[in-house]
């Protein structure tokens, strides 16, 4: 692991993500990159950093002020003891947060992205979703989303949700790299729903075959019954005190995303547990 990227809006959730990323960087020797995007539209009356410029203040002058403000915040942030021994670089961009984050992920060839998330609910979820959700949907690189405080040494158990199909095999190389850093007990989980039901014995046998075929050792075979996959994964994690959920995402776009949705994105929006996601082709 060489490069870790953390997008920040200086919220408490972004702080949780930054602490976890720092733990990863210290354990792996990776460079830690932090990006803040100033979301600014000249016709708006309010920006993510506060009120838009008053009459008489030019756009260039206003954005310069905002950049200086963020750079000062970054200097104060980097002075914290938590970054001792970590190679940290910061970036300030102006424009669309999602677009700037994804460009930076590609430019750095990030091995891991760690993001804080408040989630998105109701009409916000239907209309725009959260930036974290969009990054999860389209990123070709592994992403961990965080809503509550979590430290690397506090991750003792992981639920790897799978339907044990061939497409899931793609996830395992990325998941193996995660396990090189995290020493955790792994639960191989299959959620049974009314629309995709397999008797428990058959599901468990399929999970064992999947584990054997892919040389997964010391994993716990688990099934869980629920009305929806994301609800079942979340409930299993709660019932078994799971510290991290791992799942693949297909990154569906357009009408296919509207129709089929994404279990991973639903988890990012609704569960309080940290979620590791990786793209499946």
Lowest mean pLDDT among 27-31, 66-70, 219-223, 250-254: 250-254
In angstroms, the CA 43 to CA 59 distance is: 10
User: Does one domain contain both 75 and 164?
Assistant: no
Q: Give the tokens for residue 176.
A: 């193996």
In angstroms, the CA 192 to CA 200 distance is: 8
Contact between 16 and 150 under an 8 Å Cβ cutoff? The reply is yes
In angstroms, the CA 223 to CA 216 distance is: 17
* Mean pLDDT computed over 27-36: 97
User: Does one domain contain both 258 and 173?
Assistant: yes
Q: Give the tokens for residue 240.
A: 């078994």
Q: Residue 46: pLDDT above 80?
A: no
Q: What is the pLDDT of residue 231?
A: 93
User: Does one domain contain both 202 and 121?
Assistant: no
Q: Residue 22: pLDDT above 80?
A: yes
Domain boundary pick from 148, 172, 199: 148
User: Does one domain contain both 107 and 123?
Assistant: yes
How confident is the model over 166-216, as pLDDT tens digits?
Answer: 777 778 888 999 999 999 999 999 999 998 889 999 999 999 999 999 888
> pLDDT-derived band of residue 41, with 50, 70 and 90 as boundaries?
low
Residue in the structure block whose two tokens are 């060489």: 2
The total of other beta-carbon atoms located within 10 Å of residue 143's CB is 26
Look over the chain and give the mean of its residue pLDDT values, rounded to a whole number: 85
CATH classification of the domain holding 66: 3.40.50.620
Helices 263-270 + 229-239 axis angle, to 10: 50
Q: Residue 106: pLDDT above 90?
A: yes
In angstroms, the CA 236 to CA 20 distance is: 23
Kindly list the distances between the CA atom of residue 267 and the CA atoms of 83, 105, 158, 161, 277, in Å, as whole numbers in the listed order. 30, 22, 15, 11, 10
Best CA proximity match to 125, nearest among 115, 136, 133, 117: 133
Q: Residue 62: pLDDT above 90?
A: no
- Enclosing H/E stretch for 107: helix 97-108
* Cβ partners under 8 Å of residue 199, min gap 6: none
The beta strands (E) that lie in the chain are given as 3-7, 31-38, 46-47, 50-51, 88-94, 112-116, 143-146, 157-161, 185-192, 219-225, 244-249, 275-279
User: Does one domain contain both 111 and 11?
Assistant: yes
User: Does one domain contain both 142 and 166?
Assistant: no
Q: The pTM is what?
A: 0.87
> pLDDT-derived band of residue 134, with 50, 70 and 90 as boundaries?
confident
User: Does one domain contain both 8 and 23?
Assistant: yes
Lowest mean pLDDT among 41-45, 66-70, 96-100: 41-45
How confident is the model over 1-16, as pLDDT tens digits?
Answer: 999 999 999 999 999 9
User: Does one domain contain both 117 and 191?
Assistant: no
Lowest mean pLDDT among 16-25, 41-50, 105-114, 226-235: 41-50
User: Does one domain contain both 64 and 130?
Assistant: yes
Residue in the structure block whose two tokens are 């688990």: 222
What is the domain extent for residue 31? 1-148
Percent of the chain past pLDDT 70, that is, above it, reads: 84
Domain boundary pick from 148, 166, 184: 148
User: Does one domain contain both 24 and 124?
Assistant: yes
User: Does one domain contain both 211 and 140?
Assistant: no
Higher pLDDT, 50 or 18: 18
Number of domains making up the chain: 2
Q: What is the pLDDT of residue 42?
A: 55
Q: Residue 44: pLDDT above 50?
A: no
Pairing relationship of beta strands 157-161 and 244-249 according to DSSP bridges: parallel
Contact between 274 and 146 under an 8 Å Cβ cutoff? The reply is yes
Lowest mean pLDDT among 73-87, 99-113, 115-129, 236-250: 115-129
3-state secondary structure of 162: coil
Domain boundary pick from 104, 130, 148: 148
User: Does one domain contain both 143 and 165?
Assistant: no
């Amino acid at each position: 692991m060489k490069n870790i990227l953390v997008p920040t809006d200086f919220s408490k959730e972004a702080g949780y993500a930054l602490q976890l990323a720092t733990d990863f960087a210290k354990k792996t020797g990776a460079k830690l990159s932090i990006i803040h995007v100033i979301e600014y539209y000249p016709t708006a009356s309010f920006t993510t950093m506060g009120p838009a410029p008053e009459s008489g203040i030019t756009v260039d002058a206003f954005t310069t002020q905002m950049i200086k403000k963020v750079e000062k915040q970054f200097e104060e942030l980097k002075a914290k003891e938590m970054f001792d021994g970590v190679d940290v670089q910061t970036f300030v961009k102006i424009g669309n947060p999602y677009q700037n984050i994804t460009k930076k992920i590609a430019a750095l060839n990030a091995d891991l992205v760690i993001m804080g998330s408040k989630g998105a609910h109701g009409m916000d979820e239907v209309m725009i979703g959260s930036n974290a959700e969009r990054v999860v949907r389209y990123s070709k690189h592994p992403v961990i989303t965080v809503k509550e405080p979590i430290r690397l040494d506090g991750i003792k158990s992981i639920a790897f949700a799978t339907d044990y199909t061939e497409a899931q095999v793609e996830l395992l190389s990325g998941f193996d790299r995660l396990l090189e850093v995290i020493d955790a007990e792994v639960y191989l989980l299959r959620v049974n729903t009314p629309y995709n039901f397999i008797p428990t014995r058959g599901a468990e046998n399929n999970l064992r075959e999947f584990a054997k075929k892919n040389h997964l050792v010391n994993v716990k075979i688990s099934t869980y019954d629920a009305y929806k996959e994301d609800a079942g994964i979340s409930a299993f994690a709660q019932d078994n005190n799971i510290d991290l959920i791992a799942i693949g995402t297909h990154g569906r776009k357009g009408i296919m995303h509207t129709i089929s949705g994404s279990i991973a994105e639903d988890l990012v929006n609704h569960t309080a547990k940290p979620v590791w996601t990786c793209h499946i082709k």
